[in-house]
Amino acid sequence: MNIINPHRFDRLPDAILFDTDNTLYPYDPAHTAAQQAVKNKVVNRFSIRPQDFDFAFDEARRQVKARLKNTASSHSRLLYLQKMLEIMGLGSQVLLALDFEQTYWRSFLSHAILFEGVKELLDDLRILGIPTAIVTDLTAKIQFRKVVYFGLDHYFDYIVTSEEAGFDKPHAAPFQIALEKMKPKGACVWMIGDNPINDIQGAREKINAVTLQKIHQGTEVGTGLAIPDGFFQEFGQLRKFISRLGETR
């Protein structure tokens, strides 16, 4: 556990917000496995070269994101796959797009594993009476599925997706809606996430949150305006830190 701004940690928080993807579990292994499963299915179905799939999918993703920008639907795997089929000259092919999307998410969830100590930390927070909420990008349906798959649906008090908020982080809306739901008793709110811009800088600038960054392979500590107030590698480290803060109140 590394504390950069110790004056920000003089007490336990009144509420804690959590990012989901790449914060509660490592995103890349699950995504890589899921993307490969879809790729294999498409390549075999249409007898195309793997590089042809890569080109069509990457171009589809680029076009969808360019059109929808920082909204929940800009992350839609279904829209990427629909556009990919269109780029391949096959039309929308609704049934195939749905089938490929289901392949992606089945494989994704089967390869997604919570970081060690997440549930134990959430148990600690419940005992301390600290309310918690998820603030996450992407559409509500798939993020709800992830929460249920991980068995976290009874651990968090609230969830806010960018579909509900109308904007991805670091826009103020997701953070503000979470606070409206939680109604914390004080102004000390922590944000725990991996992304230095969306989670750390966004939460500090939009709601003056105390920020903690989850660091692991593939993530780097934010710098400049995106530097966190503290960062940690293991949730067990955060549990010990919160326990020590609790002893002082």
Query: Pick from 240, 234, 239, 187: which is nearest to 214 by CA?
Result: 234
- How large is the average pLDDT for residues 144-152? 96
- What is the reported pLDDT for 246? 82
- What is the reported pLDDT for 24? 98
- Give SS3 for 95: helix
pTM assigned to the model: 0.93
Higher pLDDT residue, 35 or 247? 35
- What is the reported pLDDT for 92? 85
Residue 47 above 60 pLDDT? Answer: yes
Residue 30 above 90 pLDDT? Answer: yes
CB atoms within 10 A of CB 200: 29
- What is the reported pLDDT for 248? 64
Q: Rounded distance, CA 92 to CA 79, Å?
A: 10
Instruction: Write the DSSP assignment of 214-242 as a string of letters.
Output: E--TT-----GGG--SEEES-HHHHHHHH
Sheet holding 210-214, edge to edge: 2-3, 230-232, 210-214, 189-193, 15-18, 132-136, 158-161
- What is the reported pLDDT for 249? 56
Question: Which residues neighbour 186 within 8 Å (Cβ) at sequence distance 6 or greater?
Answer: 14
CATH of 2-26+114-247, one of 3.40.50.1000, 1.10.10.10, 3.40.50.1820, 3.30.1360.200: 3.40.50.1000
Q: Which of the residues are catalytic?
A: 19, 21
For residue range 162-220, what is the model confidence (pLDDT) as tens digits?
999 999 999 999 999 999 999 999 999 999 999 999 999 999 999 999 999 999 998 99
For residue range 94-108, what is the model confidence (pLDDT) as tens digits?
999 999 999 999 999
